[in-house]
Amino acid sequence: MDLRASDEALDWPALRERVAACTACALHATRTQTVFGVGSERARLMIVGEAPGAEEDRQGEPFVGRAGQLLNAMLRAIGLERGDVYIANVLKCRPPGNRNPSLEEAVACEGFLRRQIALIAPALILSVGGIAARNLLGTDTPVGKLRGTVHHVGADRVPCVVTYHPAYLLRQPEEKAKAWQDLQLVAGLLRESSALHSRGQST
């Protein structure tokens, strides 16, 4: 996926404004507000989900409903709090009835996520759920087949681990053990990248 040329040079305030004013797809007509993203702009780990749900649309923050509570617990399992990471979605507006994003909606929104990734330049992306994986990696391969290995996102080849969406884990708790394995992979990659980083700085 490519950045829309117009989004390429935006800084954080300009990007926020662009998202808040966006009317590029029909979702602007039904949203309460846009849901930009939350967390540290210097995060080493970026979480990418699908789209805001009802609670996110109301509060203007991603992952604040039940799935968000589970995401928080997943992060805590590897010693991280929400404020340590950056959390964003493929779509910045809620699809009515929480249906899956359409291709047109994802294309209309993709420049925003790309710019967020470029501004944060995370060491690692954790993609939660099939919609995020499809949009980040450009594949229809199911999450079950993508998990367990390191993929790469975009021209900068940002490392990316794929796991199940917390909303799916709420419905299928028997899959949680696999998600916990994926989180161990994330923790290991973050440790590795910070060891490399500090070695680089000391030489």
Question: Is residue 67 a contact point for ligand URA (CB under 6 A)?
Answer: yes
Task: Give residues 80-109 in contact with ligand URA (rule: CB under 6 A).
Answer: 89
Identified binder of ligand URA from the candidate list 56, 57, 105, 182, rule CB under 6 A:
56
What is the smallest separation between the CB atom of 61 and ligand URA, expressed in angstroms? 8
Question: Is residue 63 a contact point for ligand URA (CB under 6 A)?
Answer: yes
Check if the beta carbon of residue 35 is closer than 8 Å to that of residue 52.
Answer: yes
Task: Give residues 137-166 in contact with ligand URA (rule: CB under 6 A).
Answer: none
What is the smallest separation between the CB atom of 109 and ligand URA, expressed in angstroms? 13
Residue nearer to ligand URA on the CB measure, 67 or 118: 67
* Sheet architecture: strand order including 151-153: 38-39, 86-89, 45-49, 124-128, 158-163, 151-153
Question: Is residue 57 a contact point for ligand URA (CB under 6 A)?
Answer: no
Q: Cα separation of 201 and 35, whole Å?
A: 36
What is the smallest separation between the CB atom of 90 and ligand URA, expressed in angstroms? 8
Whole-Å CA distances, 61 to 8, 52, 53, 65, 86: 24, 8, 10, 10, 11
Q: Which helix (H) or strand (E) holds 149?
A: none
What is the smallest separation between the CB atom of 116 and ligand URA, expressed in angstroms? 14
Q: Is 190 exposed, middle or buried (0-12, 13-18, 19+ CB in 10 A)?
A: buried
Per CB under 6 A, residues contacting ligand URA are 49-53, 56, 62-63, 65, 67, 89, 167
